[in-house]
A and B are shown apart, each in its own frame.
Chain A
Amino acid sequence: MNEEKTQEKASKIDLNRRDMPRQSPEMRRNNFDEVALGYTEELARAEASRCLQCKKPRCVTGCPVEIDIPGFIGCITRGDFKGGIKKLKEKNCLPAVSGRVCPQESQCESKCVLGNKKAEIAIGRLERFLADWEAGQGKVDLPPRAKSTGKKVAVVGSGPAGLTVAGDLILLGHEVTIFEALHKAGGVLVYGIPEFRLPKAIVQREVDYLKALGVEVFTDFVVGKTRSIDELLEEFDAVFVGTGAGLPWFMNIPGENLNGVYSANEYLTRMNLMKGYLYPKSSTPVKKHVKVAVVGGGNVAMDSARTALRMGAAESHIVYRRSHAELPARAEEAENAEEEGVIFDLLTLPLAYIGDENGWVKEIECIQMELGEPDASGRRTPVEKKGSNFRMQTDAVVCAIGNSPNPLVPATTPGLDTTKRGTLVADPETGKTTRDRVWAGGDIVTGAATVILAMGAGRKAARAIHEYLTTGKQ
């Protein structure tokens, strides 16, 4: 009944999904500034006012952290941005980040009733608008902290899962200390996602916000090496492990150790965290490549291919074994890449890398693929087309086919069970691991996934840790 009414209402409403201003492709492929410029107030209010304010909002069911989406959108419509950001932050402590990097088209926005008319509300853009509006106000309001419980929590890893856990538990009155292996906090948000998609100043803002709330952050501290989980448990009442998916996969094909063949982690970390994109102003050396082939079809592959263009490559290719429809990347990122001139070599699988006499990659031996029957994931399995081998010239390859969980913590923590895939065994509802007083969440549990899923897992774990700290129940 409600559904019908909503549908009926839909036929009368504004179906003009407002575009977000972006740098033009010609311009942005030559700089590292953020591509999407964000809604203006007018655009945000116009977009927000299209929302039908469904009684049973389906969008919320598509959100891993269950944000009150109609609630914050309603605030924007009324011009109550302060109320809107408050509503957002009830469920999501990193809105400026998730507004930019969440795959909204397969989550909240995919459930919007206006999707039937191909005019779903741009929820992600509105979320981003509010977060940026708040940042623009200069002073961010610090929410009140609960009375100190005297309990201490160690958070291992400062990626999206760890930041969420820290943000939640500090407000509940616990003392929180984050341990980060690299020299900057933020995890994949600083080493992986490029500046043009997620400016590092935004991540820094979120980290500074946590620090202002009282979270202590130790960088250059490798848990598992500098100190073990067991040693942390002597000092802390609970430990959260959010060490991410930090062990790059290779395909086990000939030539992968040639110079010029990078893991996406190396390529992107060198550019982002190590500021290689500023080379030669920065001291991290970066090779100048003419033609770059990125293997893979996810967000990391798009980030790598677009970075290569910005670093001056004449040609940047995505080499992906399935077709366009199966690309795991956010639709917007694939579209941005195409607009910028990234060339998509679809249904193509590398078989070997061929090097020159100095050990640098010069060619890729590839084979063409066709799509067969759907596999367990529901995607059609690519099958090699016999005799379709060909060679592609290139002077750099970026392997962006995924990551295993980082083994440092599991390998040095007795009793912390792992699955066959190397991920930590943890309760999906609470993040509780097989070790007493140890919780985990994010890619270390799920294998490589998204920022928002890691944030969702962090939220659940924070809830469980809080319960343990206040009631003793695990």
Chain B
Amino acid sequence: MKKVIERSMIVPNMHLLVVEAPEIASKVKPGQFVIVRGGDEGERIPLSVADYDTEKGTVSIVFMEVGASTAALARLNAGDAVATCVGPLGNATTIDTFGDVLLVGGCYGIGSLYPVAKELKAKGNKVSVVLEARSSYLIYWLNKYVPLAEKVYTITRDGSLGQKGHISRLPDVIHGMPRKPDRIIVNGCTYLMAHTSEVTKDLDIPVVVNLNPIMIDGTGMCGVCRVTVAGQMKFACVDGPEFDGHDIDWKEFLARRKAYVTEEAMFFRRSDAPAHNEGKCAWHE
């Protein structure tokens, strides 16, 4: 049981959860994740760590409310307890002096890349950031990135902020940069990472992705997070979660990611748990 310090919706459907976990806060590094269970009967879900405060002993997570388990987390409030928050798990992002690094974040990844940006800058890298969302109102933490980054680019599908289009516009952003980045680090939904890997194939830039497969224990025991990397079977929890995006079998990864979509939907439909109504229609009324 760990205490919730804060839980708030930062943009529609995207939540910030701050948990009191001094053991984890003192150990966690950018790119690592924790496994969380909202309630006692809840599923175990891996969530990237978005920030941490060693002094206060807190760990922050940004997550999107998509299914039963994240809905349970979204219903927590300050003072409540999370049944499980265990970690830090997985390997940390490799932080080195690369030169120019381009961070590409979408969805919850905008949150998880924040500590990566901080550490990279502290190491003397020039950091540029691309934030991607369907629309401007779904982009968050922009002003947290501004002081860290050489430049923050935005891509929105409706064109309400920055470039109009999907992440496939990324090469345009890169070509418009004063210097080709030496490394790209992507975090966000599977599509974002898969497409970024796809559209950067010919640019001769290493692309690091932070995979988000289904997991149970997160310590190598269950093997549900397996992924084919350069033809080899890897476990994202202990071998990753970061891999070279150009080496991933994305078709297989996407299929595995979606394994329980139907069951999740069925559960959500049957579930009589009350929905919160922050920032969206109160459909339960």
Contact = CB atoms under 8 A, between A and B. Distances in A.
Interface of A: 181-183, 191, 220-222, 225-227, 246-248, 250, 252, 256-259, 262-263, 265-266, 269-270, 273-275, 279-280, 282-287, 358-360, 406-408
Nearest to B68: A283
B275 to A, nearest CB: 15
Interface of B: 23-24, 27, 37, 39, 41-44, 68-69, 72, 83-89, 216-224, 226-228, 233, 235, 238, 249, 251-252, 255-256, 259-260, 263-264, 266-267, 270
Given A226-B24, A283-B267, A250 B216 contact: no
A280 B270 contact: yes
Contact of B220 (A246, A274, A283): A246
A259 B44 contact: no
Nearest to B40: A183
Nearest to A268: B222
Given A225-B87, A246-B219, A257-B228, A283 B41 contact: yes
Contacts of A273: 216
Given A248-B223, A257-B226, A359-B255, A183 B37 contact: yes
A221 B86 contact: yes
Contacts of A258: 252, 255
Contacts of B84: 183, 220
A206 to B, nearest CB: 21
Q: Which 9 A-B pairs have the closest CB atoms?
A: A359-B255, A285-B263, A246-B221, A263-B223, A220-B86, A285-B260, A266-B222, A248-B223, A266-B224
Given A265-B223, A285-B260, A225 B266 contact: no
A191 B222 CA distance: 10
B263 A222 contact: no
A312 to B, nearest CB: 14
B63 to A, nearest CB: 16
A406 B220 contact: yes
A257 B255 CA distance: 10
Nearest to B265: A285
A358 B252 CA distance: 9
A250 B267 contact: no
A248 to B, nearest CB: 4
Most chain A beta carbons < 10 A, residue from B217, B227, B270:
B217
Contacts of B220: 246-247, 406-408
Contacts of B23: 221, 226-227
A280 B271 CA distance: 9
Contact of B27 (A225, A257, A265, A279): A225
Contacts of A263: 222-224
A275 B223 contact: no
Given A256-B233, A257-B256, A181 B217 contact: yes
A283 B42 contact: yes
Contact of A182 (B43, B89, B217, B224): B217
A225 B255 CA distance: 30
A252 B233 contact: yes
Contacts of A227: 23, 27
B223 A266 contact: yes
Contacts of B42: 283
B226 A280 contact: no
Contacts of A284: 43
A48 B217 CA distance: 43
25 contacts: A181-B219, A182-B217, A183-B83, A220-B86, A221-B23, A222-B87, A225-B89, A226-B87, A246-B220, A247-B221, A256-B226, A257-B226, A257-B228, A258-B255, A263-B223, A266-B216, A266-B224, A270-B216, A282-B41, A283-B267, A285-B260, A285-B263, A285-B267, A359-B252, A407-B238
Contacts of A280: 263, 266-267, 270
Contacts of A274: 43-44, 216
A259 B86 contact: no
A348 to B, nearest CB: 23
A161 to B, nearest CB: 16
Contacts of B223: 247-248, 250, 263, 265-266
A408 B219 contact: yes
A4 B44 CA distance: 60
A141 B263 CA distance: 46
Nearest to A220: B86
A263 B44 CA distance: 17
A409 to B, nearest CB: 10
B214 to A, nearest CB: 9
Given A248-B223, A263-B224, A284-B43, 9 more contacts: A181-B219, A183-B86, A257-B227, A263-B223, A269-B221, A275-B41, A279-B263, A359-B251, A360-B255
A220 B217 CA distance: 10
B90 to A, nearest CB: 9
A274 B68 CA distance: 14
Nearest to A181: B219
A406 B223 CA distance: 12
B71 to A, nearest CB: 10
B252 A257 contact: yes
B152 to A, nearest CB: 33
Most chain B beta carbons < 10 A, residue from A359, A360, A407:
A359
A396 to B, nearest CB: 11
B153 to A, nearest CB: 34
Given A248-B223, A286-B263, A269 B233 contact: no
Given A265-B222, A287-B260, A259 B216 contact: no
A250 B267 CA distance: 31
A161 B36 CA distance: 27
Given A359-B251, A408-B238, A265 B221 contact: yes
Contacts of A407: 220, 238
A211 to B, nearest CB: 16
Contacts of A287: 259-260, 263
A119 to B, nearest CB: 41
B259 A259 contact: yes
A225 B43 CA distance: 21
Contacts of B69: 283
B89 A269 contact: no
A181 to B, nearest CB: 5
A201 to B, nearest CB: 16
Contacts of A222: 86-87, 89, 218-219
A296 to B, nearest CB: 14
A406 B238 CA distance: 10
A287 to B, nearest CB: 7
Most chain A beta carbons < 10 A, residue from B68, B221, B235:
B221
Contacts of A270: 216, 222
A256 B84 CA distance: 30
B86 A181 contact: yes
A286 B264 CA distance: 9
